[in-house]
Amino acid sequence: MSDFQYEDLLRSVLEDGDFRPDRTGTGTYGIFGAELRYDLSFDFPLITTKKVHFKSVVGELLWFLSGNTNTRFLNENGIRIWNEWADQDGQLGPVYGAQWRAWPGRNGSRIDQIAELIENLKSDPFSRRHIVSAWNVSDLDQMALAPCHMMMQFHVREVEDMMTGGHSKVLSCKVIQRSADMFLGVPFNIASYALLVHMIAQQVGMGVGELIWSGGDVHVYSNHIEQVESQLKRKILPFPKLILKPADSIDDYTFDHVELVGYNPHPAIKAPVAV
């Protein structure tokens, strides 16, 4: 069932969305409030009704996790998705990576939210405070683009192991995305957070559970209507599987650790990015 959720929501936005002016001047058709749920233990939620450039998904996530906020690493790996917002030196201000790995604390300190998350998942797995935020109000005016996917909350559940009769822990994540570009952005975002759940679960010795994606302003840009209509005519194909090779720490993952098996999507559909 999960294979169809994205396309069902995309169709709903197209059919039921209200027209709204937006920051870019392009205009969108949108609804407010939506949720998608994916069982990560079964397959990997990378949509198949159009090809998603998975190398860009992996590269951007590695870039976030490195704490980097300059596009140089991305461009060196053929990833140009942030170029429209960067200045002439490739700088973006304190966007995701800075907030995840070096949130400004008191007296000049820096808080590594990802490192703290991993440590807390190990020491206090059933806490309700496993949260990472990118929405730093005091830094918003310095960012080239305010965070769209702005917060994630992790949840640990104990499940029975049918093979051994014992119990094991599985890790789930809920992502809150204030602004959700359904055609270009959301397929990318879902895959990125699904990969992050796999990485963190591996680092804390847990299985993977669900990815729950929660969108606020869920929209289709007015100049993507033709592309969306074309996409929705395509047959939905099975999701791929993910193979994630072990890494010593969350900082040690590379492109070589990540492999997709069985990803056979329909061709990509190009569309302009609203900046």
Spatial distance between the Cα atoms of 219 and 216, rounded to a whole number of angstroms? 9
148 classed as catalytic: yes
72 is in an annotated binding site: no
107 is in an annotated binding site: no
Question: Would the annotation count 234 as a binding residue?
Answer: no
Is 261 assigned to a binding site? no
Is 221 labelled a binding residue? yes
Residue 214 Cα distances to 8, 52, 55, 177, 178, angstroms: 15, 20, 24, 6, 8
Is 129 part of any known ligand binding site? yes
Q: Which of 121, 148, 250, 271 is catalytic?
A: 148
If 0-12 CB within 10 Å is exposed, 13-18 middle and 19+ buried, where does residue 135 land? middle
Is 144 flagged in the annotation as binding? no
Q: How far apart are CA 149 and CA 216, in angstroms?
A: 10
Tell whether 11 is in a known binding site: no
| Angle, CA of 222, 224 and 227, to the nearest 5° | 145
Name the nearest CA neighbour of 247 among 200, 190, 191: 200
86-179-50-262 Cα dihedral, nearest 10 degrees: 90
Is 219 marked within a binding site? Answer: yes
Are the C-beta atoms of 46 and 6 separated by less than 8 Å?
no
Is 220 labeled as ligand-binding? yes
53 annotated among ligand-binding-site residues: yes
**Please, which residues have CB within 8 angstroms of residue 105's CB and are 6 or more apart in sequence?**
111
Among all residues, which ones are annotated catalytic? 148
User: Binding site residues for dUMP, as ranges?
Assistant: 23, 128-129, 178-181, 189, 219-221
User: Binding site residues, as ranges?
Assistant: 23, 53, 128-129, 178-181, 189, 219-221, 274
